[in-house]
C-alpha cells in the first residue's frame, strides 16, 4: 500500500516535470526576439513580410510560366535556344553582367561624406526597390564596397571624386520618396554628415553600364 | 560488546545507510530538484511574454511568424521551379552546339548571380548580442547586434576577397538590403533571429585578411570592446551558401538594346 502511494507520487512528479519541460522548451522556441519589438516595429515587420511574400508569389507565377514554356518545347523536341537566350539576358541584366536602361533617380553627392554613409545610401536604394545601381560609371555589385577616408573615397581601386553620382533604376517616385521622406537617409545624412550635400533628381531614362568583373567564383564550387 | 566494530565502522556504515534508502526516494529527490530548476526557469522567462500576451502585440507576433513561414515555403517553391528549369535546359542539349554554349553561359551567370548554392573554403563569423548589463543612461540597443554591424562584417568580407556571402541562410545578392527593425535584423526582407552567422566563401586566407583589415579591427574595437557584442570566428573545412530564392524579375530596368541578348558588353555605356 505504502509502496503504491510512493509510486503514485513519483508518477505525478514525473508528469508535472515533463509538462514543464515542454512548456519551457516551447516558450524558448517562440521567443525569437519578436517579443522585444514594439507594436510599431511589428507592424513594419509584418508590412515588409507581406510585400516580400507578394513579390515571391509573382516570381513563382513567372517562373512557372517559364517552366511550362520549356516543358512544351521539350515535348515538341525543340532545342529551346530562344528560351535559353531570354533566360540568359534576364539573369545577366539582373546580376549586372549586362548594361540596363530605365527610369530612376540620380543622387549627386557633394562635400565631405564617409564610406559607411555612402554604403548606407546604397543599402537604402536597395531597400526602396532599386533594380540596378551605379556609382559614377561603375555598376554596383554585392561585392562593390565604397571604402577609404572621407575626401579619398574609392570603389574598388577607382576614386569617386567630388562631386560623385549614385544612379539607380526603379520607380522614380518610390525611390525619391523613400530617400527624401522625414527621417529617411537624406535627412539622416544631413545630421551625421552636415558638410555633405545630396541632391536627388528623378530621371526618365538612365543607362547603367555592365560590371567589369566576371563574378564567377574561383574558390567556391556549385552545389548541384 | 562494542570493541569489535569501531575500527571499520565509518565508511561501511555510511554506505550501508545509503543502501537502505529505497531507490525510488533517490529518483524522487532528483526529479524534485530538476522540477525546481524548471519552475524557476519558467517563471524567469515568463516576464516579457506575459506582457505581450495581454496587449496588441500577440496577434502581430503571430502574424509575423505565419508570414515568415509562408515566405520560407514560397522560397522553397521558387528553388524547386528553378531546379526543374535548369534540368530541362541542360537535358538533351548536347547535340546542339549553340544550346550547349548558351547552357554553360547561363550556368555561369546564375553562379555569378547567387542563384546557385555555393560550397568551398571560407569562414563563418558569428555576432551575438552583448551579455553585459546595460549601465543606466546607456541605450540598450547599443548592446544588441544591429543591421549596421551585420552590414559592416559583410562589407569587410567582400573587401577581404569573399566571392559569396550569406547571413543565417539568406544569400547576399546585388539587390540585398540589410535593415534594422527594433533590435532585430531583416535580410532580403526575411526576419532573422540572433545570433547572426555570416558565412563567406573565398581564398584560403580569407580569415587572416579579414582580421588584418583596419575596417574590421575598428568594428571589433568599437562594438566588441565598448559594448560587449560577441564576435566569434570559425573556419569549417567546407562552407556552404544557399541559393538566393527571391525575385529576379526586373520591372523598370531593361537589358540595353545596344547589346545583343546575353552579349556581356565590355565597354561601359556613357
Q: Which tens digit of pLDDT belongs to each residue from B147-176? A: 999 999 999 999 999 999 999 999 999 999
Could B122 and A220 be called an inter-chain contact, meaning their C-beta atoms sit closer than 8 Å? yes
Nearest CB among B113, B181, B246 relative to A91 is that of B113
Could A49 and B71 be called an inter-chain contact, meaning their C-beta atoms sit closer than 8 Å? yes
- In whole angstroms, give the CA distance from residue B168 to residue B196: 6
Could A59 and B248 be called an inter-chain contact, meaning their C-beta atoms sit closer than 8 Å? yes
Same domain, A27 and A111: no
Task: State how many domains chain A has.
Answer: 2
Q: Decide if pLDDT at A31 tops 90.
A: no
Same domain, B141 and B232: yes
Q: pLDDT grade, residue A38 (50/70/90)? A: confident
Q: Decide if pLDDT at B18 tops 60.
A: no
Could A56 and B246 be called an inter-chain contact, meaning their C-beta atoms sit closer than 8 Å? yes
Closest residue, chain B, to A34 (C-alpha): B61
Domain boundary at B67, B90, B113, which? B113
Closest residue, chain B, to A210 (C-alpha): B268
For residue B195, is it within any domain? yes
For residue B250, is it within any domain? no
Percent of chain B with pLDDT over 90: 52
> Chain A partners of B85 at a C-beta cutoff of 8 Å?
63, 66-67, 70, 87
Comparing C-alpha atoms, which of A106, A64, A66 is closest to residue A201? A106
For residue A54, is it within any domain? no
The whole-number average pLDDT for the span B202-217 is 96
> Chain A partners of B263 at a C-beta cutoff of 8 Å?
98
For residue A88, is it within any domain? no
A150 at the B interface (CB within 8 A)? no
Could A49 and B158 be called an inter-chain contact, meaning their C-beta atoms sit closer than 8 Å? no
Same domain, B122 and B217: yes
For residue A40, is it within any domain? no
For residue A18, is it within any domain? yes
Looking at residue A102, its pLDDT comes to 97
Could A142 and B93 be called an inter-chain contact, meaning their C-beta atoms sit closer than 8 Å? no
Q: Decide if pLDDT at B8 tops 50.
A: no
Closest residue, chain B, to A5 (C-alpha): B24
Same domain, B165 and B100: no
Indicate which CATH number applies to the domain containing B144. 3.30.70.1880
Q: Render the burial of A118-146: b for 16+ CB within 10 Å, e for the rest.
A: bbbbbbbbbbbbbbbbbbeebbbbbbbbb
Q: What is the dihedral of CA B263, A68, B190, B55, to 10 degrees?
A: 150
Looking at residue A15, its pLDDT comes to 73
> Chain A partners of B112 at a C-beta cutoff of 8 Å?
95, 97, 214-217
Range of the domain at A19: 2-34
> Chain B partners of A83 at a C-beta cutoff of 8 Å?
89
Could B174 and A142 be called an inter-chain contact, meaning their C-beta atoms sit closer than 8 Å? yes
Q: Decide if pLDDT at A191 tops 90.
A: yes
Q: Decide if pLDDT at B6 tops 50.
A: no
The whole-number average pLDDT for the span B73-79 is 92
Comparing C-alpha atoms, which of B214, B221, B120 is closest to residue A219? B120
Q: What are phi and psi of A97, to 5 degrees?
A: -80, -15
Q: Decide if pLDDT at B14 tops 60.
A: no
For residue B262, is it within any domain? no
For residue B92, is it within any domain? yes
Burial class (CB in 10 A: 0-12, 13-18, 19+), B159: middle
Burial class (CB in 10 A: 0-12, 13-18, 19+), B264: middle
Comparing A212 with B3, the larger pLDDT belongs to: A212
Question: What is the edge-to-edge ordering of all strands in the sheet holding B196-201?
Answer: B170-171, B164-167, B196-201, B122-128, B230-234
Query: Of A106-110, B1-5, B92-96, B131-135, where does the model show the most confidence?
Result: A106-110
Q: What is the residue-averaged pLDDT of chain A? A: 88
How many CB atoms lie under 10 A from the CB of residue B53?
Answer: 12
For residue B265, is it within any domain? no
Same domain, B29 and B86: no
Same domain, B169 and B75: no
Percent of chain B with pLDDT over 70: 78
A174 at the B interface (CB within 8 A)? no
Indicate which CATH number applies to the domain containing A108. 3.30.70.1880
> Chain B partners of A71 at a C-beta cutoff of 8 Å?
88
Same domain, B27 and B63: no
Same domain, B122 and B222: yes
Looking at residue B96, its pLDDT comes to 65
Q: pLDDT grade, residue B54 (50/70/90)? A: very low
Q: Decide if pLDDT at B252 tops 70.
A: yes
Candidates A53, A92, A114, partner chain B, best to mutate (most B CBs within 10 A): A92
- In whole angstroms, give the CA distance from residue B107 to residue B111: 6
For residue A62, is it within any domain? no
Looking at residue B94, its pLDDT comes to 54
Looking at residue B34, its pLDDT comes to 74
Same domain, B95 and B191: no
Comparing A167 with B65, the larger pLDDT belongs to: A167
Closest residue, chain B, to A6 (C-alpha): B24
The whole-number average pLDDT for the span B58-67 is 88
Same domain, B45 and B68: no
Nearest CB among A20, A52, A59 relative to B42 is that of A20
Task: State how many domains chain B has.
Answer: 3
Same domain, B124 and B173: yes
Q: Decide if pLDDT at A208 tops 80.
A: yes
Could B248 and A90 be called an inter-chain contact, meaning their C-beta atoms sit closer than 8 Å? yes
For residue A139, is it within any domain? yes
For residue A142, is it within any domain? yes
Which tens digits make up the pLDDT trace of A69-109?
Answer: 888 888 887 767 888 888 899 999 999 999 999 999 999 99
For residue A86, is it within any domain? no
Which tens digits make up the pLDDT trace of A161-186?
Answer: 999 999 999 999 999 999 999 999 99
C-alpha cell of residue B241 = 551558401
> Chain A partners of B199 at a C-beta cutoff of 8 Å?
none
Same domain, A116 and A204: yes
Range of the domain at B94: 57-113
A199 at the B interface (CB within 8 A)? no
Same domain, B143 and B177: yes
Looking at residue B159, its pLDDT comes to 96
pTM as predicted: 0.77
Closest residue, chain B, to A68 (C-alpha): B85
- In whole angstroms, give the CA distance from residue A135 to residue A127: 17
Amino acid at each position: 500500500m505504502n509502496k503504491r502511494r510512493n509510486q503514485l507520487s513519483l508518477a505525478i512528479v514525473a508528469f508535472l516535470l515533463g509538462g514543464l519541460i515542454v512548456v519551457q522548451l516551447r516558450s524558448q522556441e517562440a521567443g525569437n526576439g519578436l517579443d522585444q519589438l514594439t507594436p510599431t516595429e511589428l507592424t513594419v515587420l509584418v508590412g515588409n513580410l507581406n510585400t516580400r511574400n507578394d513579390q515571391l508569389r509573382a516570381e513563382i507565377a513567372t517562373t512557372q510560366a517559364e517552366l511550362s514554356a520549356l516543358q512544351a518545347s521539350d515535348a515538341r523536341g525543340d532545342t529551346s535556344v530562344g528560351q535559353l537566350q531570354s533566360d540568359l539576358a534576364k539573369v545577366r541584366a539582373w546580376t549586372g553582367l549586362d548594361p540596363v536602361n530605365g527610369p530612376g533617380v540620380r543622387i549627386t553627392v557633394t562635400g565631405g561624406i564617409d564610406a559607411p554613409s555612402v554604403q548606407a545610401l546604397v543599402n537604402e536604394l536597395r531597400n526602396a526597390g532599386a533594380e540596378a545601381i551605379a556609382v559614377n560609371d561603375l555598376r554596383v555589385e554585392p561585392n562593390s564596397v565604397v571604402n577609404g577616408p572621407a575626401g579619398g573615397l574609392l570603389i574598388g581601386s577607382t576614386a569617386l571624386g567630388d562631386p560623385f553620382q549614385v544612379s539607380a533604376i526603379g520607380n522614380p517616385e518610390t525611390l525619391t520618396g523613400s530617400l527624401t521622406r522625414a527621417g529617411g537617409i537624406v535627412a539622416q545624412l544631413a545630421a551625421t554628415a552636415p558638410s555633405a550635400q545630396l541632391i536627388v533628381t528623378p530621371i526618365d531614362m538612365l543607362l547603367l553600364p555592365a560590371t567589369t568583373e566576371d563574378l564567377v567564383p574561383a574558390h567556391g564550387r556549385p552545389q548541384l | 560488546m562494542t570493541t569489535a566494530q569501531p575500527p571499520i565502522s565509518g565508511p561501511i556504515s555510511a554506505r550501508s545507510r545509503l543502501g537502505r534508502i529505497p531507490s525510488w526516494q533517490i529518483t524522487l529527490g532528483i526529479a524534485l530538484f530538476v522540477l525546481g530548476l524548471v519552475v524557476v526557469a519558467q517563471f524567469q522567462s515568463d516576464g516579457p511574454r506575459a506582457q505581450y500576451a495581454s496587449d496588441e502585440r500577440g496577434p502581430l507576433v503571430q502574424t509575423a511568424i505565419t508570414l515568415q513561414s509562408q515566405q520560407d515555403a514560397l522560397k522553397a517553391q521558387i528553388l524547386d521551379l528553378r531546379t526543374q528549369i535548369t534540368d530541362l535546359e541542360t537535358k538533351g542539349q548536347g547535340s546542339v552546339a549553340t544550346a550547349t554554349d548558351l547552357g554553360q553561359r547561363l550556368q555561369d551567370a546564375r553562379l555569378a548571380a547567387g542563384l546557385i548554392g555555393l560550397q568551398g573554403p571560407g569562414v563563418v563569423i558569428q555576432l551575438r548580442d552583448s551579455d553585459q548589463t546595460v549601465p543606466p543612461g546607456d541605450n540598450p540597443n547599443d548592446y544588441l547586434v544591429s543591421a549596421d554591424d551585420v552590414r559592416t562584417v559583410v562589407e569587410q568580407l567582400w573587401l577581404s576577397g569573399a566571392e559569396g556571402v550569406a547571413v543565417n541562410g539568406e544569400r547576399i545578392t546585388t539587390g540585398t538590403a540589410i535593415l534594422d527593425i527594433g533590435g532585430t535584423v531583416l535580410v532580403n526582407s526575411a526576419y532573422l533571429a540572433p545570433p547572426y552567422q555570416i558565412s563567406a566563401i573565398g581564398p584560403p586566407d580569407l580569415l587572416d585578411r579579414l582580421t588584418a583589415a583596419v575596417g574590421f579591427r575598428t568594428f571589433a574595437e568599437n562594438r566588441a570592446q565598448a559594448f560587449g557584442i560577441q564576435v566569434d570566428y570559425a573556419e569549417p573545412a567546407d562552407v556552404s551558401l544557399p541559393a538566393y530564392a527571391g525575385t529576379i524579375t526586373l520591372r523598370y530596368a531593361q537589358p540595353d538594346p545596344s547589346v545583343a541578348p546575353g552579349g556581356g558588353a565590355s565597354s561601359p555605356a556613357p
